[in-house]
Structure 1
Amino acid sequence: MTEASEPAQGPFARTSHVYEFTEPEDSSVTKHLDDDAHWASELITKLVSIGGDDAMRPGIVNACEGLAFVRASKGGLGLTIARGSGFVIRKLDQDRFGNSRWSAPVYFNVSQLGFGVALGFESADSVLALMSYSSIMRFTHDNTAVGTDLGLVTTDGAISGVPAGTFGRTSHMDVQADNTNTVFAYSVSSGLLVNLSINGTETSPNHTLNKKLYGNNASMADVLNGKIQTFRELLPLYRKISDTARQALP
C-alpha cells in the first residue's frame, strides 16, 4: 500500500485530501482501471461542456453523493434490449472549497429494457448523479431496477416531469434538500447529448471483475464506504470531478 496526498486544485483550493492506494489483486486489470478513469473524465467534460438546457450542471456534480458511469449498446435487432457495463463511486468527504475525496469503484453489469435504443441509438455513454447514500448502495445488490428501485430523472424528465439539467441551476443545498432520493441521468451518443429513457434497466454487481480488484472476501459496501483503498489509476477522474464541482461555487 502507498499513500499520496492529492493536491487540491483550482483557485478555491485550501486543503488537500489524502488517498491510500493499493495495487489490484490481479495486475491484469490495471489497464482497465486506467482506461475507465480517462473515459469517465472525458465523459464528464462532454456532458458539462456540450451546452443547452440538458447539459450536466456543475451544481449537480457538487451536490451529488455518488456517480455511476455506464456504457450500453443495443442488444438485438429491432429490440429495446440493452447490454452494458459500468462502475459507481461514492463521495467520502468534501470541503467548502469543493475539494472532495472519493471511494474506489464497484463495477456492475447492465441488462434488461431501456436506454431508449428503440429511438435509433446503437450505443450511449451515461453518467448517473446519485443524490443519496441509499441510491449508491443499490448498485451493490443483484437485479436493481433503475427507475423503479431508484428515483430516476432522465434529461427528458421521464419520472418527475422536470428536465434534469434544470436542477443544476439551483443551489447545492436546494438540490440536496429537495431531491435526496433522485438519480439524474445524462447521456451522450455519437458526440451528441441525447434524451434516453433508462426506466426498467437492471444492474447487478460484476462479481468477476470486483473479485479481481478486491479479492474473494471483500464487501462492496466496504468499498463504497471507503474502508478499502482505492487505486492510483483513478486519480485523473477524482481530479476532474473536483474541478467540475468547483465551477458551481460562487
Structure 2
Amino acid sequence: MKDIAFPSCEECEIQSGFFCAFSKGLKKEIGQDKRHLKIKKGENLFTQGSHSIGLYCLYKGKVKLTKMGKDGKEQILRFSKPGDIIGYRSLLNQEAYQASATAIEDVYVCLILKETFLDMVDKNRSFSKNIINLLGDDLRSAEESIVGLSQKSVHERIAESLVLLINKYGYKKDGETINLKLSRSDIANLAATTQETAIRTLSKMEKEGYIMLNKKEILVPNFKKLMSGTTLFD
C-alpha cells in the first residue's frame, strides 16, 4: 500500500464533503487531535457490534457500509467517497455500530476522536446543524428504501442503484464505465434481491441496451435510457 502524506484539515484539497462548509479556524480546531489511518482493500474500518472510538472522514478511496441480517445475509446500505464522514450515528447514540464499514479499495481516513466530535456537537451550532441535516438525509433515504422494496421492480431498483452510484463516483475516463467495480453479489445486495435474480435482470438490461457488462465493470452508454428505467425525480 503506497504511503501518502495527509494534509492538515484546513489545507485539505477535497472540495465537497461534510467539513468543507466550515471555516479554516474550525477545521484547525477539529483536526488538532485527529489520527491518520491507512486501511487495505478488504479490511474493516469498524464492524457491526463494535463500539465507536471516533468519527471517520474519508480522504482517499471508497468504502461500503453493510449490515448483516438475522438470516446471515449481507445488505449494502450505501457507499462512501472522499469527503464523506462515517460512524456519526453510533457516536451520537453512544451505542455499538449497527453496520460494518469495509474498504473496497485501499483507503486513507482521518479519525476525529470521540471526545473532540462530541465537544463540537455541544458547543458549535453550525456543526450540530450539519449533523442534524445528515441524520435527516439518512431518515429520508431509509424511508425511500422501504418504499422501493415494496413498490418497485428489481429492474427499477438496480437501475436506480446504478444512477446513484454514477452520481456519487462518476465515470472512468471513457465517460461510460461507472467508476466502481461491482460483483454480482454486490448488485444483488444493493437491490435487495437474490444473486440469481440480479444476474438475470442485468442480462436482460444489457440485451435491452440499458447497460453493457464487462466482468465487474458496468458501462452505461446512454444515461437518459438508464434513467428511464427508474422512478427517480418522478
TM-score by length of 1: 0.24
More strand by share: 1
- Greater RCO (CA < 8 Å, at least 6 residues apart): 1
More helix by share: 2
Larger radius of gyration: 2
